[in-house]
Structure 1
Amino acid sequence: MNKNRTTNIPEFILQGFTGIPAEYYGLLGTFFLFIYLMLASGNIFILVFVACEKSLQKPTYIIFCNLAISDLGFGTTTLPRIIAKYWMSDIMSFNSCITQMYLVHYFGTCTSFLMALMALDRFVAICNPLRYPVLISHFTIAILCSVLWIVNLFILGAITAHALSVPYCGPNIIRHCYCDYISVSNLACADITALRVTSTSIAMAVLWGPLFYIIFSYVAIIFSVMKISNKEGRYKTFLTCTPQLFIICLYYLPRSFVYMAYAVGYRFESNFNIALIMMYSLFPALINPLIYCFRTKEIKDTLMRKFKVIQVRVNVKSFLT
């Protein structure tokens, strides 16, 4: 990416959290390294486990794997740069910042649509189970996931180009730990009212389009489940949806709050704003593997079987020796 000809800022300074003494930077960087290792190992485990376990190679788990890729991509895009800020330097080149901004919102957008795809999977499985093998096949999910990844490349390309259409001539301090659209566009030395309206409209469409479908699908699921006469059957069916509902609430509600505040021009205190964004961006990616491993019955049962096999082998080996 070449430097924007209307821009005379060669680099940005990542401000991050304010008021933290420099002697604690190493500890803070170590904390984010721990978060990254947890996030990366959990999502890589999901990918490897599903790839190696043939019984889990089903449409639902293909969506899980795509979500794990998106979460891993987002974490890798943001956390190493945050760690570098506190361990080495808070300076980031213009081109690197714009690239990071693109990837941050690309993976975020993919995650939003993958949440909707997961809701579609649950909707068909519960509301129309007889047609599930026909409607939700490996081929269908592979096509939908491919389209999702490819289309979002162009959507975020257009948004990034829009951000680059205005000049940047100072200041160059980004009030965040990484580059995102709001932080970067606020530094434009031009009237960004039209830019803000367009970007907010696209963000709301990307965020609320999938959210409205998710709400519709889960309302339909609730009505369908309530028709089940068996109490235990209702409980088991609800149990398959609760992990996704938890992640959906954690992902969408804080984002909607922050986006709406930005749209009306309200600004949060810097440290609170950063903490809120980091919470709703990184926490779902961190706990998704835990929820899908320990709250998804099929994965949990498969893990338990493998642990029992390993335990038997260890016992046999110790007996023979």
Structure 2
Amino acid sequence: MITNFTTMRSFLILGFPGLLPQYYGPVSALLFFVYLAIAIGNIFILAFVVYEKSLHKPTYLIFCHLALTDLMFGTVTLPKIISKYWFDDSIISFYGCFVQMYFVHFLGASHSFILMVMALDRFVAICAPLRYTALFTNNTVSVLCGISWILPMSWMVGIVLDTLRLPYCNSNIITHCFCDHIAITVLGCENVREVQVVAFGMAMFSLMLPLGFITFSYFVIIVAVMRMTSSNSSRMTALSTCSPQILITFLYFMPRCFVYLANFVGFTFSVPVRIVVVMLYSILPAAINPLIYCFKTKDIKEHLKKKLVTRKFNSSTTG
């Protein structure tokens, strides 16, 4: 469908190229259950931390910010692609697509910076434990996470406006499951390269700056733990406090780095494979992270056990 940029009013979400119609139902059902897992898991984490006053600590407040970005990202991206395969509704309005693009990249950048705050939390806790409670308060976390939200929010406005000003006179088919910057700009007619370079630079900044700091901080943490004069069990205990953060960081950054590195060395994915890979590393961590919070974080796990034991006891006594 070719349209002149003066008359373009909507885009069509292509989804997974080459997917046969008989698989539309299973794919939409799978995406729906993934969205349910994202919504239920992250809302549970938010509610549980808010309800349990003893969890009102810097580490768990950071988890709440991460859960909020995951919940918002799933809500922004999944309903439309589910609607495409469930109700054959592929159309997204012209401006609606840009709104979705804004939130996709804004939330991704915010998530990166919040992960950097999480690494700073563990860095101070391990390397300066006596000063941790003074340096890393709830107010400190709120300020740092607030900055992590506000910075990407501001520059993404400029990127969206630049993209919006492009003349669109090519196909209006978005070759993706949601509206991202590259999928939209390739449909432009002129000045596309300039807009893409600026957006790519900001994407690299929001990805590589946090990743560089996170890598440095965890390297210093490992060195500091290895130099401890305490027993091996104490060292392992110290490292175990970082395991949820390391897992969450690994799930977020490693697939992205792999894709960028593969492109850099000249290895290109076919369009269907690329879309599947992007969907996997964009959506699955949001569904898996709540499990990591619950089963790899000592305080949350212990509180959950107490709740379950109390409930079983109450039900047995009333029975």
User: Structure 2 length normalisation: TM-score?
Assistant: 0.94
Structural mapping, 1:102-251, within 5 Å = 102-228=102-228, 229-251=230-252
d(CA) in 2 for partners of 1:60 and 1:281? 23
Match of residue 269 from structure 1: 270
Give, as a single letter, the amino acid of the residue that structure 2 aligns with 1:188. G
Structure 1 residue 139: Cα displacement: 1.0
Is the 1:200–1:259 contact (alpha carbons within 8 Å) kept by the matching residues of 2?
no
Give, as a single letter, the amino acid of the residue that structure 2 aligns with 1:121. D
Match of residue 52 from structure 1: 51
Is the 2:175–2:183 contact (alpha carbons within 8 Å) kept by the matching residues of 1?
yes
d(CA) in 1 for partners of 2:60 and 2:19? 42
Match of residue 72 from structure 2: 73
Counterparts in 2 of 1:309 and 1:301: CA distance versus 1, 3 Å: same
d(CA) in 2 for partners of 1:260 and 1:165? 31
Aligned to 1:49, the other structure's residue is in SS state helix
Structure 1 residue 295: Cα displacement: 0.4
**Alignment: residue pair count:** 314
Indicate whether 1:93 and 2:93 are aligned.
Answer: yes
Deviates more, 1:59-68 or 1:18-27: 18-27
Counterparts in 2 of 1:277 and 1:154: CA distance versus 1, 3 Å: same
Give, as a single letter, the amino acid of the residue that structure 1 aligns with 2:184. V
Aligned to 2:188, the other structure's residue is in SS state coil
Match of residue 25 from structure 1: 24
Is the 1:200–1:263 contact (alpha carbons within 8 Å) kept by the matching residues of 2?
no
Cα root mean square deviation, aligned: 1.8
Give, as a single letter, the amino acid of the residue that structure 2 aligns with 1:252. F
d(CA) in 2 for partners of 1:126 and 1:240? 9
Match of residue 37 from structure 1: 36
Counterparts in 2 of 1:151 and 1:191: CA distance versus 1, 3 Å: closer
Q: Quote the sequence identity (%).
A: 46
Unmatched 5+ stretches in structure 2: none
User: Structure 1 length normalisation: TM-score?
Assistant: 0.93
Match of residue 315 from structure 1: 316
Is the 2:98–2:179 contact (alpha carbons within 8 Å) kept by the matching residues of 1?
yes
Deviates more, 1:201-210 or 1:160-169: 160-169
Counterparts in 2 of 1:117 and 1:47: CA distance versus 1, 3 Å: same
Structure 1 residue 266: Cα displacement: 7.0
d(CA) in 2 for partners of 1:254 and 1:32? 20
Aligned to 2:187, the other structure's residue is in SS state coil
d(CA) in 2 for partners of 1:227 and 1:314? 49
Give, as a single letter, the amino acid of the residue that structure 2 aligns with 1:80. P
What's the CA shift string for 1:4-34, capped at 9, x where partnerless? x965321111111122222321221111110
d(CA) in 1 for partners of 2:167 and 2:263? 21
Structure 1 residue 306: Cα displacement: 1.2
d(CA) in 2 for partners of 1:299 and 1:8? 54
Match of residue 258 from structure 1: 259
Counterparts in 2 of 1:183 and 1:267: CA distance versus 1, 3 Å: farther
Structure 1 residue 189: Cα displacement: 1.1
Unmatched 5+ stretches in structure 1: none
Counterparts in 2 of 1:264 and 1:168: CA distance versus 1, 3 Å: farther
Deviates more, 1:215-224 or 1:83-92: 83-92
